[in-house]
Amino acid sequence: MIDKLGALQARITAALDGVKNLKELDDLEVAELGRKSEFMLALKGLGELPPEQRRSVGQKANEIKTALAASFGVRRQELRSASLGALAEEEWIDITAPGIRPPAGHVHLTNQAIDEITDIFSRIGFYRYRHPEADWDWYAFEALNMPPDHPARDEWETFFVDAPVHPRLGRMVLTPHTSSGQVREMERRGLPIRMIGISKCYRRQMDVSHVPMFHQFEGLLIDHGVSVTHLKGVLDHFARTYFGPERKTRLRPFHFRFTEPSFEVDISCGICLGTGRLKDGAKCRLCKDGWLELGGAGMIHPNVLSAGKIDPEEWGGFAFGWGVERTMMMRSGLQIPDIREIYKNDLRFLSQF
Ligand code: PHE
């Protein structure tokens, strides 16, 4: 009997050496030491031995069994550390390697400009407000001293909304300028007013320097004793802060129905610094005479104040307004050859800003 167990032990130990992985080891253990294995069946034969042999043979058999279990344990340990070693080899991570940055978006360049413009005016006491971008003819034109059929309206190539006509306020339009917020603000808020309105505007236009949807910002200040010098001071504050400390503004006489007097606001050219000439005496190629046109401004017309139920004898104010896109393109000296790029949502373009 002991010979038989000894022979089995030799066979199993040899097989153990040939085992290549934990799975094979488990299979071998079931086959050779499981309940129905040759080894276990042989052990069962112990009970049939004469009692005087049983003790010594039993002891020996037990030693063989314990030795085999130990051999399995040792081999299991070997295989485990071998597989961990392989894992470390195959799946090692270089924790010093630079990370892979996940693609992240950022604020659109127009919104960056809007935030900055809002901030610049808020420092001198203007609050930002947004008025409706689809509004009545009354606010866009009539309250601004442009009666129906007045030719001045032609300047604003307006989209009309196919909506019921308001008996008093007229047709609905997509606001062609932020000046539609002037009388709205007079109605909404008590005096004095210091508003910077920034909203979308819409005009029937589309070419390299125009898009049908763009943004304007509208300054509106109404108070006692307001004069053109206040307007000039606010514009210079903006020019210096947004464009750079060496920049200044110039007011040129102009005409709007809703301001009197009216101006066009120019800013000194950032390339030739207002001289119109480059260092070598050549003519500046960005501007004509040292100045670049920003937009419109003026002192609020008494009829507009009256439309907003404000007494023009007692109160006065100024307004100014122009395009956000144009302004931001002027500052960066960005050579965006086509303003439509800003709204094509091409990430190769947008991610540069
Ligand atoms: N709303 C005018 C425009 O779109 C600009 C303007 C605003 C002029 C305020 C005067 C005062 O051209």
234-261 pLDDT, tens per residue?
Answer: 999 999 999 999 999 999 999 999 999 9
- The per-residue pLDDT for range 171-205, each reduced to its tens digit, is 999 999 999 999 999 999 989 999 999 999 999 99
Closest atom, ligand 1, to C-alpha of 178: 1
- The per-residue pLDDT for range 118-139, each reduced to its tens digit, is 999 999 999 999 999 999 999 9
Ligand 1 midpoint to CA 276 (Å): 27
Give me the chain's average pLDDT, please: 92
Atom 12 in ligand 1: which residue has the minimum CA distance? 296
Q: Is residue 39 a contact partner of residue 62, using CB atoms and an 8 Å limit?
A: no
Q: Is residue 263 a contact partner of residue 318, using CB atoms and an 8 Å limit?
A: no
Q: Determine if ligand 1 sits within 6 Å of the CB of residue 176.
A: no
Atom 7 in ligand 1: which residue has the minimum CA distance? 321
Ligand 1 midpoint to CA 262 (Å): 9
- Average pLDDT of 314-339? 87
The pLDDT confidence band at residue 301, using thresholds 50, 70 and 90, is very high
Q: With 80 as the cut, is the pLDDT of residue 344 above it?
A: yes
* Percentage of residues in the chain having pLDDT higher than 90: 67
Q: Which is nearest to 24 in space by CA: 90, 87, 72?
A: 72
* Predicted local confidence at residue 278, as pLDDT: 87
- Please tell me whether the overall predicted TM-score, pTM, comes out greater than 0.75 for this model: no
Q: Determine if ligand 1 sits within 6 Å of the CB of residue 179.
A: yes
* Predicted local confidence at residue 1, as pLDDT: 77
Q: With 70 as the cut, is the pLDDT of residue 333 above it?
A: no
- Average pLDDT of 131-150? 97
Structure tokens at 83: 């597989």
Q: With 70 as the cut, is the pLDDT of residue 282 above it?
A: yes
The pLDDT confidence band at residue 271, using thresholds 50, 70 and 90, is confident
Strand partners, 298: 262, 319
Q: Please, where are the H alpha helices in the chain? A: 2-18, 22-33, 38-44, 51-90, 109-122, 137-140, 180-188, 228-238, 302-307, 324-332, 347-350
Give the integer Cα–Cα distance in Å for 305 and 226: 14
Q: Determine if ligand 1 sits within 6 Å of the CB of residue 180.
A: no
Atom 9 in ligand 1: which residue has the minimum CA distance? 320
